[in-house]
Structure 1
Amino acid sequence: MSKLNFAAIAFAVMFSGAALAQSTDTRGACKADYDKFCAGIAPGKGQIVACLKSKRDQLSDTCKKALDSRKK
């Protein structure tokens, strides 16, 4: 395997791990808010995040911070 291919694969793995950690953090921080305000929303296409953002004024501070830390 060439050094360039290895570097590309390593970069992809590191980036996907960071994205996964970020979404896991958001899920944990917003679980209670999701259960309260968006339980009927199916995952996919950003629908849950959109639901939570539409209820922003009612969300916990922890969830607001997690949503704010997501990549825009």
Structure 2
Amino acid sequence: MKKLDAALVSVVLAAGTALFAGAAAAAYNAKVRQACAGDYQNFCSQYSPDSTELRRCMESNRKGLTHTCVTALIDAGEVPAKYLKKK
């Protein structure tokens, strides 16, 4: 009985951790999307959100991105902090 209880607790904890991680990632995506909406329209609107092409486009235009967008990307762990260095 104790082995079954321990296994059940492990499964519940793993599921809870995965759910929390997913919620945190979604929050970051919303913050980045809001902060980078103008940059997306200016540079990369031809690409669908969450696509590899969009990520490449934003990377190739990183020197033109707004400070707000870059800060949100750094906070979300999408790019390193060195992106805030002066252009």
Q: TM-score of the superposition, structure 2-length normalised?
A: 0.73
- Give the gaps of 5 or more residues in structure 2: 79-87
1:32 aligns with 2:42: no
Alignment coverage as a number of residue pairs: 72
* Residue type at the aligned position of 2:29: S
Partner of 1:5: 11
Greater C-alpha radius of gyration: 2
Q: TM-score of the superposition, structure 1-length normalised?
A: 0.86
**Residues 31-66 of structure 1: CA deviation (Å, up to 9, x unaligned):** 010011101112344322221121111111000111
- Give the gaps of 5 or more residues in structure 1: none
Report the CA distance shift for 1:45/1:34 in structure 2 as closer, same or farther (over 3 A): closer
Structure scoring higher RCO (CA < 8 A, sep ≥ 6) equals 1
